[in-house]
Amino acid sequence: MKIVIFEPHPDDLLFGPGSILLEWIEKNEHDIHVVTVTDGRACYRTSDDLFSEDVAKMTEDDVAEMRINEAKQAIKFLGLPSENHHLFYFHDAEGQKYVHEGIKKAMPLIKNADRIVLPSTHNRHVDHQATHDIAIGASIELNLTNIEYFVYFIATYGKFKEDSKEKQFNFTIDEDTAKILIDWLEIYQSQAKLKWTWKMYSRYLRKIRTWTYATYNFNDIGKYYNF
């Protein structure tokens, strides 16, 4: 299968489809592409968290460079080809400004896809919602009626609703896989500069063993809360 995964920010690949992505990679039978939509520059813009001291010296361009490099390091960590990593470089926290452009950029990447992996709609984060809108908008433009739409929801920004219960499934990981996810987290040192965020991320990966996903088809678009 050709699988195209949309991550709104560097690090969403881990906390979105990360657990099941490891299984897809292990099978070694898929052509996996990752689209990183925004550059993560707004990471320290507004937060009640406690920053490390060096954050005060960083410009947003510095933050964007750090986070884009982390996205690239994650692709290397996963063993995916660098040419399968597609960076849109849209400004973080401004996703809706780029939906039209994003659709144009996404279309050639997904035109021959078998599975598109994307965030849920009705998402509380503007960039996650924009990423959904880009992926679905491009799919509609191309009339991709015969592919699978694999939806993830990062718990901080909402949850799956009961109306699509039959579309949802749980994916359970073992301790070895959990260890890989924790090692993967170490790449995102931009997040380690946020005291409570880092603690939350680390605790989440140490604790969670079952992840919920959902799969839909083209005719489901707009019929469910999450799709």
CA distances from 164 to 115, 130, 170, 227 (A): 19, 21, 13, 9
**Could you give the 3-state DSSP secondary structure of residue 116?**
strand
Sign of CA dihedral 27, 145, 75, 7: negative
CA angle 62–66–72, rounded 5-degree value: 145
Q: Which pLDDT band holds residue 77 (cuts at 50, 70, 90)? A: very high
Chain segment 211-226, per-residue pLDDT in tens: 999 999 999 999 999 9
What is this structure's pTM? 0.97
C-alpha span between 163 and 154 (Å, rounded): 18
Chain segment 135-181, per-residue pLDDT in tens: 999 999 999 999 999 999 998 899 999 999 999 999 999 999 999 99
C-alpha span between 127 and 57 (Å, rounded): 25
What kind of fold does domain 2-220 have according to CATH?
Rossmann fold (3.40.50)
Residue 131: both structure tokens together: 């990423």
